[in-house]
Amino acid sequence: FVHTLNGSGLAIGRTWVAVVENYQQADGSVVIPEALRPYVGAERITPKKF
């Protein structure tokens, strides 16, 4: 059943894009929604400065 290998209830890529689109701040950081914080382990994701 290889066709169901990535067939979870949510398409992870599209779900992550939706979170980034809706929670990205002007400085480029992304505020993690309250419900996802226990899974991500952070309140905010910030871009690296090069």
pTM for the whole structure:
0.69
Average pLDDT, the chain: 85
pLDDT tens for residues 7-28? 566 677 788 899 999 999 999 9
- 26 or 6: whose pLDDT is higher? 26
Confidence (pLDDT) at 9: 65
Residue 19 and residue 36: Cα distance in Å, rounded? 10
- 7 or 35: whose pLDDT is higher? 35
3-state secondary structure at position 31: strand
Confidence (pLDDT) at 8: 62
Confidence (pLDDT) at 21: 95
